[in-house]
């Protein structure tokens, strides 16, 4: 447990909140003050924050064959960099409809990987880049039989072109160590699997 005084939302004074851009996503601007660790208040500051909504991601793991399902697709956010913008990721999708997050995760598994998932399990949630983004990602896992998984999927209406890969967990872990996987949510999901896969194997028996 952290010691000392802990801050909460009562220690923030939002003077103004405005939408400075609204397209597919939003850009918010906050003018605010916040309490310093000294007990005093900060000066009035301005911060821009990117609001793209929240997301679910789903780790698909086959405990019998010790394999994971990763999907590959082009990502606009990676175009500016020296590596290829086709990224390996876990299944994921925006929470853009009024349905339970578990249902959205199952739908994304079908749309992106052609996999019908009967049950998903919540792991935890996290903020992807809290310094400038509101995005909160809810991580789930599902135990599957990946022996017949593969192919090209994605929704034509969303211009998706997604290739499905089934790889051993050890290869996926090695790709994380070697820096071949650039997606933060995928790195987090695979690191969680590295810590928990033996328990998943036991519980699946």
Catalytic residue (one of 102, 158, 178, 198): 158
Q: What is the distance between the alpha carbons of residues 3 and 19, in angstroms, rounded to a whole number? A: 37
What is the DSSP secondary structure assignment for residue 148, as one 8-state letter? T
CA 85 to chain centroid, in Å, comes to 17
Q: What is the distance between the alpha carbons of residues 16 and 13, in angstroms, rounded to a whole number? A: 9
Q: In this structure, are residues 63 and 143 in contact, taking their beta carbons and an 8 Å threshold?
A: yes
Q: In this structure, are residues 32 and 14 in contact, taking their beta carbons and an 8 Å threshold?
A: yes
In 10-90, the DSSP E strands lie at 12-22, 26-34, 45-51, 55-62, 67-74, 86-89
158 annotated active-site: yes
Q: Which residues are catalytic?
A: 158
């Amino acid at each position: 447990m952290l010691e000392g005084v802990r801050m909460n939302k009562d220690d923030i004074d939002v003077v103004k909140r405005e939408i400075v851009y609204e397209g597919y996503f939003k850009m918010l601007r906050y003018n605010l003050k916040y309490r310093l660790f000294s007990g005093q208040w900060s000066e009035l500051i301005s911060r821009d924050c990117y609001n793209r909504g929240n997301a679910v991601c789903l780790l698909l793991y086959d405990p019998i064959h010790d394999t994971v399902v990763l999907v590959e697709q082009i990502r606009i956010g990676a175009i500016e960099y020296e590596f290829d913008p086709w990224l390996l990721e876990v299944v994921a999708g925006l929470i853009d409809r009024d349905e339970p997050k578990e249902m959205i995760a199952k739908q994304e598994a079908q749309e992106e990987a052609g996999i019908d998932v009967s049950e998903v399990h919540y792991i935890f949630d996290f903020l992807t880049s809290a310094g400038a983004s509101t995005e909160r990602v809810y991580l789930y896992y599902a135990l599957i039989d990946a022996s017949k998984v593969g192919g090209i999927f994605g929704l034509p209406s969303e211009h998706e072109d997604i290739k499905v890969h089934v790889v051993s967990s050890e290869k996926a872990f090695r790709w994380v160590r070697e820096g071949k996987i650039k997606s933060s949510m995928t790195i987090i999901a695979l690191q969680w699997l590295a810590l928990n896969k033996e328990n998943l194997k036991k519980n699946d028996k």
